[in-house]
């Protein structure tokens, strides 16, 4: 659902009380240097990216977008990239897209058995494996050669998510695999995560032993619709993301009822797909607000941006995130976000500058009411919109990909593979995939 990265622009003060945070404070050391005018080529390097979904599959989200954008960047730098993932009904087992070889196998459960077997049969074929651990890893270090570089990619700790989706006995197994088992298997492999909150949780809750580098998500290109027209609500409030349990979208739907007296013209727009859609429709009907809650499902980019860009406020009620890709997507269009003060979201929302965080003792409705009140002042609204756009511009997929490339080339050098001067290519500046 996300687009591509936005080009960074000069920063200027936008909120005297809380000055803008420079990119160096949210990005790992060396990120800016990695995106300078000279770039390492990955020509001839064979990379496998293991992820349990790919962006075109149902309920794909930010983790899939991240893995795909990194894959696109590596392919653009000359790497031979194979994206190995699960297979949905109607999808081909093999496909080429964006210069990437897609290999699909198994359902969301069997994929964790079939992918390691597939890798075992090709254990010497790849120079680099990016093992995306969405709660359960693919155990690449156990099935590839010792000279293969394995990078573990972890967006956030999933322990609470296991208990939200599975019976207790199965959740305990998931937590055991994510914690003690993965901690030992990946103890000598570099780990990438997307926020400082996630890095802290990996250390504190999983006792992670491997070195961890923070490489933030990119941001989609802001493509505002000049005349959105027909977006119901004054104000319009939007939720953008997957419709799954831990996103707690029903709390956003409830705003239409809880704030009906204070903001009688408010409508809630829900953009996204997932198995919760029918339940949310029934929930809105049960609250008597079905006429002011619009479940749009998945929308093409232009239609999505028309609604998102016309909204006064983006609201997410998620219980945990690795980062908050849709927060930055909204910010790129000048739309601030209200979110809970939880890991990941506290990294992507700058409280009081690009949005508001719901802290202990506060309610979502109370903070949304306060936010809408602030945004009713045209001067304050313009200030926040500018801050949002500047904040979103700090994050591009080009930077994300370049920093990952730098990490990979460093690890390849440790294994004795050095890129020669002829492997360097010149670039006029940072560019993202078209």
pLDDT band at 225 (very low <50, low <70, confident <90, very high): low
Task: Report pLDDT digits (tens) over 313-327.
Answer: 999 999 878 888 899
Task: List the domain range (segments joined by +) for residue 58.
Answer: 25-219+395-426
Decide if pLDDT at 353 tops 60.
yes
Q: Are residues 303 and 384 in the same domain?
A: yes
Tokens 């409280």, located at residue: 351
Q: Are residues 286 and 159 in the same domain?
A: no
Tell which wins on pLDDT, 415 or 134.
134
> Is 383 exposed, middle or buried, given 0-12, 13-18 or 19+ CB atoms closer than 10 A?
middle
Is 122 within a domain? yes
Q: Are residues 298 and 352 in the same domain?
A: yes
Is 152 within a domain? yes
Decide if pLDDT at 126 tops 80.
yes
Q: How many domains does the chain have?
A: 2
Task: Report pLDDT digits (tens) over 259-280.
Answer: 999 999 999 999 998 888 999 9
Structure token digits, residue 379: 């001067």
Q: Are residues 119 and 178 in the same domain?
A: yes
Q: Which of 140-149, 226-235, 315-324, 346-355 has the lowest mean pLDDT?
A: 226-235
Helix (H, G, I), strand (E, B) or coil at 227: coil
Q: Which of 6-10, 245-249, 263-267, 357-361 has the lowest mean pLDDT?
A: 6-10
Decide if pLDDT at 245 tops 70.
yes
Q: Are residues 201 and 285 in the same domain?
A: no
Q: Are residues 149 and 265 in the same domain?
A: no
Task: Spell out the long-range contacts of 408-415 with Cβ–Cβ below 8 A and sequence spacing 24 or more.
Answer: 408/42, 408/45, 408/47, 408/74, 408/128, 408/149, 408/151, 409/40, 409/42, 411/128, 411/149, 411/151, 411/190, 412/45, 412/127, 412/128, 412/149, 415/147, 415/149
Tell which wins on pLDDT, 1 or 201.
201
pLDDT band at 228 (very low <50, low <70, confident <90, very high): low
Q: Are residues 294 and 191 in the same domain?
A: no
CATH number reported for the structural domain that contains residue 241 in this entry: 3.40.50.2000
Average pLDDT in the 161-184 region? 89
Is 227 within a domain? no
Tell which wins on pLDDT, 222 or 5.
222
Task: Report pLDDT digits (tens) over 366-390.
Answer: 999 999 999 999 999 999 999 999 9
Write down the pLDDT at residue 50. Answer: 98
């Amino acid at each position: 659902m996300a687009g591509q990265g936005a080009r960074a622009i000069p920063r200027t003060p936008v909120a005297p009380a809380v000055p803008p945070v420079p990119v160096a404070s949210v990005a790992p050391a060396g990120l800016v240097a990695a995106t300078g005018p000279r770039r390492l080529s990955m020509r001839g390097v064979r990379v496998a990216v293991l992820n349990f979904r790919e962006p075109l599959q149902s309920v794909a989200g930010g983790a899939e977008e991240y893995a795909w954008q990194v894959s696109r960047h590596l392919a653009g730098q000359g790497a031979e990239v194979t994206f190995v993932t699960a297979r949905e009904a109607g999808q081909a087992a093999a496909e080429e897209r964006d210069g990437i070889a897609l290999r699909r196998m198994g359902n969301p459960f069997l994929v964790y058995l079939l992918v390691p077997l597939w890798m075992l049969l090709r254990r010497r074929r790849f120079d680099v494996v990016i093992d995306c651990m969405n709660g359960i890893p693919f155990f690449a270090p156990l099935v590839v050669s010792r000279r293969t570089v394995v990078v573990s990619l972890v967006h956030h700790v999933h322990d609470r998510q296991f208990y939200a989706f599975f019976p207790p006995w199965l959740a305990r197994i998931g937590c055991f695999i994510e914690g003690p088992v993965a901690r030992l298997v990946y103890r000598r492999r570099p780990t990438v995560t997307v926020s400082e909150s996630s890095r802290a949780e990996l250390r504190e809750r999983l006792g992670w032993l491997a070195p961890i580098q923070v490489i933030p998500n990119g941001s989609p290109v802001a493509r505002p619709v000049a005349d959105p027209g027909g977006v119901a609500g004054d104000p319009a409030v939007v939720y953008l993301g997957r419709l799954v349990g831990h996103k707690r979208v029903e709390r956003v739907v409830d705003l239409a009822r809880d704030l009906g007296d204070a903001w009688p013209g408010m409508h809630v727009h829900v953009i996204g797909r997932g198995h919760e859609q029918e339940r949310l429709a029934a929930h809105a009907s049960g609250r008597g607000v079905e006429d002011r809650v619009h479940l749009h499902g998945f929308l093409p980019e232009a239609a999505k941006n028309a609604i998102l860009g016309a909204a006064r406020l983006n609201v997410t009620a998620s219980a945990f995130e690795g980062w908050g890709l849709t927060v930055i997507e909204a910010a790129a269009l000048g739309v601030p976000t209200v979110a809970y003060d939880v890991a990941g979201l506290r990294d992507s929302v700058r409280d009081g500058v690009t949005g508001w965080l719901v802290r202990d003792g506060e309610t979502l409705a109370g903070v949304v009411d306060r936010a809408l009140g602030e945004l009713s002042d045209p001067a304050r609204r313009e200030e926040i919109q500018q801050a949002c756009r500047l904040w979103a511009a700090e994050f591009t997929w080009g930077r994300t990909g370049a920093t990952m490339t730098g990490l990979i080339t460093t690890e390849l050098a440790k294994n004795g593979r050095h890129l020669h001067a002829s492997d360097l290519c010149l670039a006029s500046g940072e560019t993202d995939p078209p």
